[in-house]
Structure 1
Amino acid sequence: MTVLRIVANLAARAMPETRDFYVALFGLEVVMDQGWIVTLASGETARVQMSIASEGGSGTPVPDISIEVDDVDAIHARARELGAEIAYDLTDEPWGVRRFFIRAPDGALVNVLSHASHA
């Protein structure tokens, strides 16, 4: 048996605002919209992965979702331009990632990161 995909399902009360937040910040594209569920995607391919955590590291809460990007500084700047709530500011972590946390419109805590080799 092979796991082909793992999908994050985030609850949203304000569907248009939440959809627009992820599209504007990360450049994701709407690939399905049933009204009650919207699926966003990137054209990139990544390994199937999931994390199980008791904390978010560096004393932070466990985020609802982690999104790895190739330029975390550019996304951080875009998040500020969009007025997103920065819950944990841009930080170089001792385990080799540069990251920050933002709050999505419906409250999801989003960990945005780049690995040191990409930062």
Structure 2
Amino acid sequence: MTVKRIMANLAVSDPSSARAFYGTLLGLEVVMDHGWIVTFASDALAQPQLSVATEGGSGTPVPDLSIEVDDVDRVYSQAMKAGYEITYGIADEPWGVRRFYVRDPSGRIVNILSHA
């Protein structure tokens, strides 16, 4: 048996409110919209991954979701300009990532990162 993909399913009160965050800020495209569920995707290929953790590293809480991007500084700047709540400022971590935490419209903490 092979796991082909892993999808996060986040409960929200208004799926359309996620469009600006996941669509505009992160550049994900809407690939399915049934009104009650909206699915965002990228054309990038990645291996399925699932992390379990007791903390988020560097004394932070475990984020609800982690999203790797190609330019974390650009996304950080856009998130700041858009007025999203940054819950952990941009940082170079000792395990080789540069990241920040931002709160999405439904209140979840999202870890946005790039590998060094």
Calculate the TM-score normalised by the size of structure 2.
0.97
C-alpha offsets along residues 58-112 of structure 1, whole Å, 9 cap, x if unaligned?
Answer: 1101000000001100000010111110000000001110000000011010000
Secondary structure of the residue aligned to 1:111 is strand
Which residue number in structure 1 is paired with residue 9 of structure 2? 9
Which residue number in structure 1 is paired with residue 52 of structure 2? 52
C-alpha offsets along residues 18-73 of structure 1, whole Å, 9 cap, x if unaligned?
Answer: 22211011111000001111000001000111101011001101000000001100
Residue 63, structure 1, aligned to residue 67, structure 2: no
Distance (Å, rounded) in 1 between the aligned partners of 2:14 and 2:87: 20
Which residue number in structure 1 is paired with residue 115 of structure 2? 115
The one-letter code of the counterpart of 2:72 is: V
After the TM superposition, which parts of structure 1 deviate over 3 Å for at least 4 consecutive aligned residues?
Answer: none
Secondary structure of the residue aligned to 2:31 is strand
Secondary structure of the residue aligned to 1:74 is helix
CA RMSD of aligned residues (A): 0.7
Distance (Å, rounded) in 1 between the aligned partners of 2:19 and 2:34: 12
Q: 1:14 Cα deviation (Å)? A: 2.5
Secondary structure of the residue aligned to 1:106 is coil
The one-letter code of the counterpart of 2:56 is: G
Q: Gapped runs of 5+ residues in structure 1?
A: none
The one-letter code of the counterpart of 1:99 is: R
The range that moved more, 107-116 or 7-16, is 7-16
Which residue number in structure 2 is paired with residue 100 of structure 1? 100
The range that moved more, 12-21 or 53-62, is 12-21
Secondary structure of the residue aligned to 1:3 is coil
The one-letter code of the counterpart of 1:106 is: S
Q: Is the 8 A contact 1:90 1:99 kept in 2?
A: yes
- Report how many residues are paired: 116
Provide the identity percentage: 62
